[in-house]
């Protein structure tokens, strides 16, 4: 014979959901929406268990439980109290009211049916010992309610102490996180101001160096070559400083999720051709073969063209930087299901296996290639690719070469 369950819940929506759940588990279910109606139902009918919300207008769940416990023991149903309260003291009040069990909202269907089954199970074995189940294990307890209650209270007090410690730790962690956020925001603000203020004098120095070099060339002054070389050195140094400032700003924007993309349809055929033309002079100077291998057909992605060009420029620049004279750098692209795959392969010195996981770390450089760059190019690549919902990774072998892979949604 199925067990008869009375659900007492002032929220009609929750009451209907609980009733449907229990009916599906094979119980016969009745529903009341307040404490007084529940007590009246218990006078009219016999139930095996009452599943009662604690917080209700008028007669609350504790009062319902206490009134049920005034009935003769043989006619008392099991009582399971439901609560959205999180204070362990609620458990003590439930025990004091005579509840057989309680369950904290929100709960899953499995939790509710397990808790109800536990309340409906016989409380004594044939020898008269009280049995309880905890975390899947059944224990026989001496019939000493006060001792059991004292142990339970002690456990709850310990849990309350731990909860207070956890709350204090959480509050301290939140304060530290707020301080870190403020520090990062202050750093970003200072970096943006400094970078902006530095770019103007750098542009002035660069323009002055170019004008001076042009004046020397037009004047055709004897012995002007040393001065022209010095001016060229000044221009290169200014360019490096400008790139460093730009990279620092990009890293800051990426870390603070402040990268703004302006996506449009981008043809990889055009993008690769532009990248090859931009890097061909450096490749020719170092006698490195720079080529492309693209699948026929449509290789169009939705992306920010300037940022995607920046990704490709950083990858190709890195490949050329670490490829020996007479080597090869190949740009590849092909379509895969749901994405387009880009790869930049080189025949350079490769990366040691223990260093591969660090290639996308800021300012990191391989030991043998120190001072060949700022160490920001690949972190920027990673940030920009992920901003496009893509993925980037590296495959490398010492003395064989390196391949940088990028996939982008198609």
Of 30-34, 49-53, 213-217, 310-314, the least confident: 213-217
Q: Pairing relation of β-strands 49-53 and 4-8?
A: parallel
Asked whether 314 and 375 are in contact (CB, 8 A), the reply is: no
Question: Best-predicted range by mean pLDDT among 17-21, 95-99, 122-126, 129-133?
Answer: 17-21
Q: What is the reported pLDDT for 257?
A: 78
pTM greater than 0.95: no
Tokens 């660090």 label which residue? 358
Can you tell me the mean pLDDT for 354-368? Answer: 76
Confidence of residue 340 (pLDDT cuts 50, 70, 90): very high
Cα distance between residue 292 and residue 270, in whole Å: 11
Q: What is the pLDDT of residue 370?
A: 47
Cβ contacts of 275 within 8 Å, gap of 6 or more:
309, 312, 313, 316, 331
Q: How large is the average pLDDT for residues 14-39?
A: 94
| 64 or 372: which leads in pLDDT | 64
pLDDT score recorded for residue 52 = 94
CA atoms in the 13 A half-sphere facing the CB of 120: 17
Question: What does pLDDT average to over the chain?
Answer: 83
In this prediction, residue 233 carries a pLDDT of 83
Q: Is 90 exceeded by the pLDDT of residue 17?
A: yes
User: Residue 136 pLDDT > 80, yes or no?
Assistant: no
pLDDT of residue 88: 65
**In the predicted structure, residue 258 carries a pLDDT above the cut 60:** yes
Give the tokens for residue 388. Answer: 């496009």
pLDDT band at 199 (very low <50, low <70, confident <90, very high): confident
The answer to whether the beta carbons of residues 289 and 329 sit under 8 Å apart is: yes
Token representation of residue 174 = 């939140």
Tell whether the model's pLDDT for residue 23 goes beyond 80.
yes
Q: Report angle CA 396, 397, 403 to the nearest 5 degrees.
A: 30
pLDDT at 125 over 50: no
Rounded to 10 degrees, what is the CA torsion of 376, 381, 386, 389?
A: 170
pLDDT at res. 155: 53
Pair of tokens at residue 240:
């490096």
Average pLDDT of the residues in 69-93? 80
| Stretch 363-368: mean pLDDT | 60
- Give the mean pLDDT of 298-311: 93
Residue 36 contacts residue 59 (beta carbons within 8 Å) = yes
CB-based burial of residue 281 (10 Å sphere; 0-12 exposed, 13-18 middle, 19+ buried)? exposed
pLDDT band at 231 (very low <50, low <70, confident <90, very high): confident
Least confident of 201-205, 267-271, 350-354: 201-205
Which pLDDT tens digit goes with each residue over 139-187?
A: 555 555 655 555 465 556 657 767 788 888 888 999 998 888 888 777 7
pLDDT band at 245 (very low <50, low <70, confident <90, very high): confident
Is-contact 351 319, C-beta < 8 A?
Answer: no
Give percent above pLDDT 70 in the chain: 84
- How much is the average pLDDT of 344-370? 80
What is the average pLDDT across 333-353? 94
How high is the pLDDT of residue 153? 58
Residue 330 has pLDDT above 70, yes or no: yes
Q: Is the dihedral of CA 323, 329, 335, 339 positive or negative?
A: positive
């Amino acid at each position: 014979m199925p067990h008869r369950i009375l659900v007492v819940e002032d929220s009609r929506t929750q009451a209907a959901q609980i009733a449907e759940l229990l009916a599906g588990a094979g119980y016969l279910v009745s529903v009341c929406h307040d404490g007084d109606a529940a007590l009246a139902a218990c006078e009219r009918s016999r139930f095996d268990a009452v599943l009662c919300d604690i917080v209700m207008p008028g007669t609350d769940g504790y009062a319902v439980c206490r009134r049920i416990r005034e009935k003769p023991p043989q006619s008392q149903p099991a009582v399971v109290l439901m609560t959205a309260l999180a204070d362990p003291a609620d458990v003590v009040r439930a025990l004091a009211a005579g509840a057989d069990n309680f369950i904290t909202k929100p709960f899953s269907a499995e939790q509710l049916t397990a808790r109800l089954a536990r309340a409906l199970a016989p409380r004594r074995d044939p020898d008269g010992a009280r049995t309880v189940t905890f975390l899947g294990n059944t224990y026989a307890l001496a019939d000493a309610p006060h001792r059991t209650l004292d142990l339970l209270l002690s456990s709850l007090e310990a849990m309350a102490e731990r909860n207070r410690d956890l709350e204090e730790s959480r509050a301290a962690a939140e304060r530290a996180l707020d301080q870190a956020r403020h520090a990062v925001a202050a750093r970003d603000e200072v970096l943006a101001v400094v970078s902006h203020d530095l770019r103007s004098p750098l542009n002035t120095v660069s323009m002055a160096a170019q004008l001076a070099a042009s004046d020397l060339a037009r004047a055709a002054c004897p012995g002007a070559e040393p001065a022209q070389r010095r001016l060229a050195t000044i221009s290169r140094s200014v360019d490096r400083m400008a790139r460093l400032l730009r990279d620092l700003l990009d890293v800051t924007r990426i870390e603070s999720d402040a990268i703004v993309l302006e996506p449009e349809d981008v043809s990889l055929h055009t993008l690769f051709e532009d990248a090859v033309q931009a890097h061909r002079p450096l490749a020719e100077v170092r006698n490195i073969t720079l080529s492309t291998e693209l699948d026929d057909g449509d290789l169009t992605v939705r992306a920010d063209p300037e940022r995607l060009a920046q990704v490709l420029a950083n990858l190709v620049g890195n490949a050329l930087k670490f490829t020996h004279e007479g080597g090869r750098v190949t740009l590849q692209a092909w379509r895969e299901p749901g994405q387009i795959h880009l790869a930049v392969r080189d025949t350079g010195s490769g990366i040691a296996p223990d260093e591969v996981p660090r290639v996308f770390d800021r300012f990191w450089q391989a030991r043998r290639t120190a001072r060949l760059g700022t160490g920001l190019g690949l972190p920027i690549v990673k940030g920009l690719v992920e901003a496009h919902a893509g993925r980037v990774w590296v495959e490398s072998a010492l003395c064989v070469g390196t391949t940088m892979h990028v996939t982008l949604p198609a």
